[in-house]
């Protein structure tokens, strides 16, 4: 059974700082690894999707990497802004068609 862990559970940083969010998964037979953003009381917005054959994906100030062999993915946020404050979730899609989410990292960027 796939288990997805996100560390830390919460993170507070000053504006402008670069930061890394971590996601680990126990079953390396994944199809995709996806990062989402969730604002309080809202649904999920897909940020980046990394297919199993890829090592990283970039979108603006966001960069996500994937290391299947070690069961890890990281989300790097450059030059953080207060508007980046949200909960970030990763989800691992297995070849069996199942998706497992982590509990998320709640990020606060202070002005």
DSSP calls for the chain: ---EEEE-SEEEEETT--EEEEEEES---EEEEEEEEE-TTS-EEEEEEEETT-SEEEETTEEEEEETTTTEEEEEE-S--GGG-EEEEEEEEETTS-EEE---EEEEEE-
Taking CB under 8 A as the rule, does residue 93 contact other proteins? yes
Taking CB under 8 A as the rule, does residue 101 contact other proteins? yes
Could you say which of 11, 13, 19, 32 contacts other proteins (CB under 8 A)? 32
Taking CB under 8 A as the rule, does residue 43 contact other proteins? yes
> Please, which residue, 1 or 83, has the CB nearer to other proteins?
1
Region of 21-29, 61-69, 72-80, 102-110 interacting with other proteins (CB under 8 A):
102-110
Min CB(79)–other proteins separation in Å:
26
Q: Would you say the C-alpha torsion 54, 95, 72, 17 has a positive or negative sign?
A: positive
What residues make contact with other proteins under the rule CB under 8 A? 4, 31-32, 34, 36, 41-46, 49, 89, 91-95, 97-104
């Amino acid at each position: 059974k796939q288990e997805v862990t996100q560390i830390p559970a919460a993170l507070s940083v000053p504006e402008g700082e670069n930061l890394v969010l971590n996601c680990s998964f126990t079953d390396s037979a994944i199809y995709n690894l996806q990062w989402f953003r969730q604002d309080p009381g809202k649904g999920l917005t897909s940020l980046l999707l990394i297919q199993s054959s890829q090592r990283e994906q970039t979108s603006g100030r966001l960069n996500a990497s994937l290391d299947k062999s070690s069961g890890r993915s990281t989300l790097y946020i450059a030059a953080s802004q207060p508007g980046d404050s949200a909960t970030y979730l990763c989800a691992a899609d297995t070849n069996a068609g199942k998706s497992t989410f982590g509990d998320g990292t709640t990020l606060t960027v202070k002005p």
